Amino acid sequence: MHILKLIFKNSFRHKLRSSLTILGVAIAILAFGLLRTVISTWYLGVETASASRLVTRNAVSLVFPLPLSYKERIRQIEGVKSVSYGTWFGGLYIDEKHFFANYAVEPKTYLGMYPELTLLPDQKAAFFRDRKSAVAGLKLAERYGWKIGDIITLKGTIFPGTWDFVLHGIYKGRDQNVDETAFFFHWEYLNEAVKKVSHSWVDQVGWYMIEITDPNLAADVSLKIDQNFKNSLAETLTETEKAFTLSFISMTEAIVIAIQLVSFVIIFIIMAVVANTMAMTARERIGEYAIFKTLGFGGFHVAGLIFGESLFITMLGSVLGIVLTFPAAKIFSKALSAYFPVFNVETETIYMDVGASLIVACVAAIFPTWRAINIRIADGLRRIG
Amino acid sequence: MDRFTIVEIRHLNKSYRRGNQILPVLTGISLDIEEGEFLTLMGPSGSGKTTLLNLIAGIDKADSGTIKVGGIDITSLSETELAQWRALNVGFIFQFYNLIPVLTAFQNVELPLLLTGLSKKERRAHVETALRIVNLSDRMDHYPGQLSGGQQQRVAIARAIITDPAILVADEPTGDLDRISAIDVLELMERLNRELGKTIIMVTHDPRAAKKARIIMHLDKGVLNAHPQIDF
């Protein structure tokens, strides 16, 4: 006979109560895990940002363009390896509900700068060759059943009109965290079209992507670029890709904080549920704890029984919750792929699940343990019978 | 043959607090119990019998006075020392058996041995011997809920003697049993006293149970006297 066996047996003495508590913990951990995954997905762009890439945008705001002529001037700055550029197209596929990110880019330099977007050589060549062509991420193509050669029609919002693209490539992410729901086409195609309507965006780009020779030069190169265009009609703001992504996230920081708060509230609620279970359990068994103490078992043993039971019940629920998190995340990912292009449960999230469960189990056991240890044996024995 | 005094109580006082009121339970109790004695404490409800038993067994603390058991002044021991002392020196038999319902008879009897350094094999040998003494070898895998009251009390007795303690304290051991089971349990206790030389201190209301003891003490309003007379 072992104390662990006793903890196991005690945990299922009140089967319904223990099962409901385990189920509650499982649901709480599942919800906590999903919310933490939403938060980590929110910051995914920051994590995947390359230290050797800079972004230069209009110093006033991202909605204002930069002249195409800046490209050569940027390229000549010391420490710059290559320059690419892009523009947010903001086209709609079918209607507003079918949202996905679509960009006009300079294909060769852009794909050269993003080796994490992998494309078959023949598809890449076809994309480079045809100005009306486009490439889409694998998840996006799967979502709409697109095949190579399909004509994809987008309705312009910033750039009015109906835009047809021939799908010449479907890219895959080199890593699990790469967004596979984006759509890229030739900036040149966009520029030629806007020229015809004398749009203010003629020969203008949304931003420049700059690859630098050494990540340590990021601050120097950024400064040089911005100094280069000081007092011009379109002053620039250059920052690392990570800082650029973070500036986007900061716009939605309130939502992230709200999600974080809700995730902690869930843990707090389940802590109260487990604490209630353990308080009821300990109150019912106060006589038994007195027997243990009578037989010579010390407070340490009694604490072990209560903490052990709390840990066992909570961790059982936690494991169940963690196991359920993966299929739930897949369902979540499919249902909300337009908003969360990548929705992977990070290892760090699992650690947080386990950490939260341990905290819940320990906090829930403190008060019942304190009560069981401090009750006089004679008083405890009087509760029996 | 000379027997030594195993329990020596001097000027023992104990009171309980009820709100602002202090209720004296035991007043100036002095008592000697010799090794191998079978002593019964009788008295009306609330007279302090169980309190005195608890004090001798080291599960309650006196306000003043001394209790020496086997030469050790247990009133001076800390809670931890007292727990260790109880584990080795006292066997407990309660009115409601106080077995752990999720453990089998074997596991209940084995409980006190978990605090010793005995191996699993040694523990098994001890438990089997104890269960044989109480004539329950064939019930060792049964849970308390599968045993009768008398059988449960015999498991409790096996648990009480498993560490071979010097004294056994029994608080109304037959209080929850039918007449036949009560006789069985009392005969078993008598046998433990007679054959194994266990010192037994028993609290009871039952004159028939008290008859098994060699010494009967009467406690009334916190004062201890030799029992004047019992009609059986």
pLDDT tens digits, one per residue of B163-180: 999 899 999 999 888 989
**Six-digit token pair at A69?**
């002529």
Tell me, letter by letter, the H, E, C secondary structure of A76-88: CCCCEEEEEEEEE
Which residues of chain A lie closer than 8 angstroms to B55, CB-CB?
none
For A:12-41, CB contacts with B below 8 A are 13
Residues of chain B contacting residue A291, judged by C-beta atoms under 8 Å apart: 98, 100
Q: And the tokens for B30? A: 């002095």
Query: Is B62 among the domain residues?
Result: yes
Report CA-CA distances (Å) from B202 to A79, A377, A379, B53, B215: 94, 19, 20, 8, 10
Rounded CA separation B52/B35 (Å): 18
pLDDT at A261: 95
Structural domain includes residue B92: yes
Q: In chain A, what residues touch B103 (CB-CB under 8 Å)?
A: 1, 6, 9
CB count, 10 Å around CB of A335? 11
Find the angle CA(B213)-CA(B89)-CA(B137) to the nearest 5 degrees: 75
pLDDT single digits (tens) B55-87? 999 999 999 999 999 999 999 999 899 999 999
Q: Which residue has the higher pLDDT, A90 or A177?
A: A90
**pLDDT of the residue at B107:** 95
| Average pLDDT estimate for A93-97 | 86
Residue of B nearest to A1 (CA): B107
- Residue B204 falls within a domain, yes or no? yes
What DSSP state is assigned to residue B77? -
CA distance A182 to A134: 11
Q: How many CA atoms lie within 13 A of B153 on its CB side?
A: 25
Confidence of residue B231 (pLDDT cuts 50, 70, 90): very low
Q: Is residue B217 part of a domain?
A: yes
Which residues of chain B are within 8 Å of residue A13 when distances are taken between CB atoms? Answer: 101-102
Q: Tell me, what's the pLDDT at B232?
A: 44
> Between chains, do A1 and B51 touch, taking CB under 8 Å as contact?
no
> Does A9 sit within 8 Å of B103, measured CB to CB?
yes
pLDDT per residue as tens digits for the range A221-265: 999 999 999 999 899 999 999 888 888 788 788 888 999 999 999
Beta partners for residue B171, in sequence order = B203
Max intra-chain CA distance, chain B: 54
SS3 of residue B50 by DSSP: helix
- Please list, residue by residue across A247-268, b when 16 or more beta carbons sit within 10 angstroms of its beta carbon and e when fewer do: eeeeeeeeeeeebeeebeebbe
Question: Does B231 fall in a domain?
Answer: no
Are the C-beta atoms of A143 and A183 separated by less than 8 Å?
A: no
- On chain B, the residues whose CB falls within 8 A of the CB of A295 are 86-87, 92, 111-112, 115, 159
**What pLDDT shows up at residue A385?**
65
pLDDT over 60 (residue A274): yes
A294 to chain B, any CB pair closer than 8 A? The answer is: yes
pLDDT at A48 over 80: no
Residue A359 pLDDT exceeds 90: yes
Distance from first CA to last CA of chain A, Å, rounded? Answer: 26
For chain A positions 295-354, those within 8 Å of chain B (CB to CB) are 295-299
User: Which of B98, B140, B172 best probes binding to A when mutated, by most A CB atoms within 10 angstroms?
Assistant: B98
Nearest-Å Rg of the Cα atoms of chain A is 29
The residues with which B42 forms a beta bridge, in sequence order, are B218
CB B207 within 8 A of CB B182: no
pLDDT-above-90 percentage for chain B: 74
DSSP assignments along A310-373, one per residue: HHHHHHHHHHHHHHHHHHHHHHHHHHTTTT-S-----HHHHHHHHHHHHHHHHHHHHHHHHHHH
Please say whether the beta carbons of B162 and B108 come within 8 A. no
Q: Higher confidence at residue B221 or residue B181?
A: B181
Q: Is there a contact between A170 and A141 (Cβ–Cβ < 8 Å)? A: yes
Q: What is the number of structural domains in chain B?
A: 1
Chain position carrying tokens 């002392």 = B85
A88-92, A288-292, B16-20: the lowest-pLDDT one: B16-20
- A308-343 per-position pLDDT tens digit: 999 999 999 999 999 999 999 999 888 877 778 778
Interface check A373 vs B, CB under 8 A: no
- According to DSSP, residue A216 is labeled G
Structural domain that includes position B135: 5-226
Residue pLDDT, tens place only, B1-24: 567 899 999 999 999 888 889 889
List the structure tokens of A379.
């008083």
Flag if B59 and A3 touch (Cβ within 8 Å): no
Strands A236-240 and A53-58, bridge-based pairing: antiparallel
Dihedral sign, Cα of residue A71, residue A76, residue A80, residue A81? positive
Mean pLDDT computed over B23-50: 91
Q: What percent of chain B has pLDDT over 70?
A: 97
Please tell me which of the candidates A3, A295, A376 has its beta carbon nearest to residue B87. A295
Q: Say whether B171 sits in a helix, a strand or coil.
A: strand
Q: Which residues contact B127 (CB under 8 A, 6 or more apart)?
A: B106, B109, B110, B113, B140, B158, B162
Minimal CA separation from A376 to chain B, in Å: 8
CATH at residue B74: 3.40.50.300
Cα A88 to Cα A63: distance, rounded to the nearest angstrom:
9
Average pLDDT, chain A: 92
Nearest alpha-carbon partner for B52 in B86, B24, B74, B29: B29
Interface residue ranges in chain B relative to chain A, Cβ cutoff 8 Å: 50-51, 54, 57, 59-60, 79-80, 83-84, 86-88, 92, 94-96, 98, 100-103, 106-107, 110-112, 114-115, 159, 176
Q: Tokens representing B104? A: 């089998």
- Chain B nearest CA to A40, separation (Å): 45
CB nearest A13 (choices: B50, B102, B114): B102
Residue B125 above 90 pLDDT? yes
Q: What is the pLDDT of residue A335?
A: 82
Reported ipTM: 0.91
Tell me if B180 is assigned to some domain: yes
Nearest CA in chain B to A385: B96
- The whole-angstrom distance between A378's CA and the closest CA on chain B is 6
H/E run at residue B207: helix B207-210
Distance from C-alpha of A315 to C-alpha of A361, rounded to nearest angstrom: 8
Q: Is B186 part of any domain?
A: yes
pLDDT tens across B186-229, in order? 999 999 999 999 999 999 988 888 888 899 999 988 788 876 54
* pLDDT reported for residue B83: 92
At residue A260, the pLDDT reads 93
CA distance A126 to A182: 18
Asked, for residue B117, whether it belongs to a domain, the answer is yes
Nearest to B102 among A10, A287, A298 (CB): A10
CB A218 within 8 A of CB A51: yes
Q: Which residues of chain B make contact with A293, given a CB cutoff of 8 A?
A: 59, 83
CA distance B95 to chain A (A): 8
Q: From residue B137, how far is each of A2, B47, B156 by CA, in Å?
A: 21, 39, 14
pTM of the predicted model as reported, rounded to 2 decimal places: 0.78
**Read out DSSP for A5-41?**
HHHHHHHTSSHHHHHHHHHHHHHHHHHHHHHHHHHHH
The Cα of B198 is separated from the nearest Cα of chain A by a number of Å equal to 18
Query: Which stretch of A47-51, A298-302, B163-167 has the lowest confidence by average pLDDT?
Result: A47-51
Taking all residues of chain B, what is their mean pLDDT, rounded to a whole number?
91
Using CB atoms, which residue from A288, A294, A378 is nearest to B92?
A294
**B165 three-class SS:** coil
If you average pLDDT over residues A101-121, what whole number do you get? 94
CA atoms within 13 A on the CB side of A334: 6
Q: Report CB contact under 8 Å: A6, B96.
A: no
Do residues A314 and A28 lie in contact, with contact meaning Cβ atoms separated by under 8 Å? no
Beta bridge partners of A162: A155
Q: How many CB pairs under 8 A join A and B?
A: 65
